[in-house]
Structure 1
Amino acid sequence: MHVVITGVNRGIGRTLTDAYRARGDTITGTARDGSAQLVLDVTDPSQHSDMAARLRDQPVDLLICNAGVYLDKEQDIDGYPADMWAQSFAVNVTGVFLSVQALLPNLRVAQGKIAILSSQMASHTRAPGGSYIYRASKAAALNLGRNLATDLRDDGIAVGIYHPGWVLTEMGGPAAEITTDQAAEGLIERFDALSLETTGCFETWNGFPHAY
């Protein structure tokens, strides 16, 4: 199986890469810092074009849209500058769409799958306040995934959206609940189970449906 993962330089992306390689899958990893096979800043359309040209007609069985930022973690109500909104949406939403768009021919050849990492913070049923930009961008990514699932069904491409858990990463912080190994193991099970019957799902890393 050929798996393309964005944002593999650290955290869940790196652990997913290691896990897929360990089980014998072919991995194409991207990172904007040049530490992966492909350099990809997901906000840059020209770099998406370069990625598509590099992969040409290689089938992609699974695209994992993992790259993301949480820039407003320390903001209070008087903060949240406009450029922080723009940068966050460029990575967390537009970056997902550009990744899908660039590799759609490869996904169509394989009748592959798309996994979008969102967050429980995208759910409108959880509104404890704060983190407005991150919550809004992850909600937009969830909405994007749900609509892609509708439009790509006839191509045989299933789309799933996932809460990866509160993970011990630079983004998740030291108080998080699970390790990257636990998150990756659960997510891979979810991705393996994704099908046209479950396309459009919003699920937790450990297999529970998540409220929208």
Structure 2
Amino acid sequence: MRITQSYLKQLELEQLTELAKFVVEENFNHHSESNMPSMEIQDDVQEIYDEELSYFNNSEIFVAKDNTGNIQGSIRVIRWDYKSKLPIQKLFNINPLDMSFSQNVSSIWHIGRFATNKKNKDRTLFKKLMMYALTPICKDENSIAFAECDSKLLRVMNLMGIKTDIIGDSINYLGSETIPVSMNYDGLKGFYDANRYLVS
């Protein structure tokens, strides 16, 4: 299926349930051979909805939709307020403030909720979603970003020139091996400059 709209748009608050459902279902579509129990899906959807609701005022969520209005891809970026607990703290017990960095850090970001429809054939969708999330981070050379990446996604990111540092052991989350990473301006700049044309 192709996206007929050539742009991504920011998600509205009333669409958070739709986002949570999409993220959970696509994670399991990509990583699980068997059908997931509907009760477990509902629990995961509710958990993601609650979490994203708590971050909403400090985050931007971008979605790509097809011409029927169905989400084909999503990504979310949070500018950390130093008060709310980031997913990397909840899942891996990693506190960004405890990390030592090679630069003075002026802002801390978190990227998450990256998901794409397994049947989508738009080859630029991955890059577009990443660019929307990375743009605010790359506007400040002293930014640092954190994410929890599926092992397959992490390989693709590295192949595309997004440099990451693994900062902990992997866990199983939403049906796949998930690895905590950090990214800084120097590691993102090459990908950002090469794909800047994708962000309108």
Asked if TM exceeds 0.5, the reply is: no
Which of structures 1 and 2 has the larger relative contact order (alpha carbons within 8 angstroms, sep 6+)?
A: 2
**Please, what TM-score do these two structures have when normalized by structure 1?**
0.33
Pick the structure with more strand per residue: 2
**Please, what TM-score do these two structures have when normalized by structure 2?**
0.35
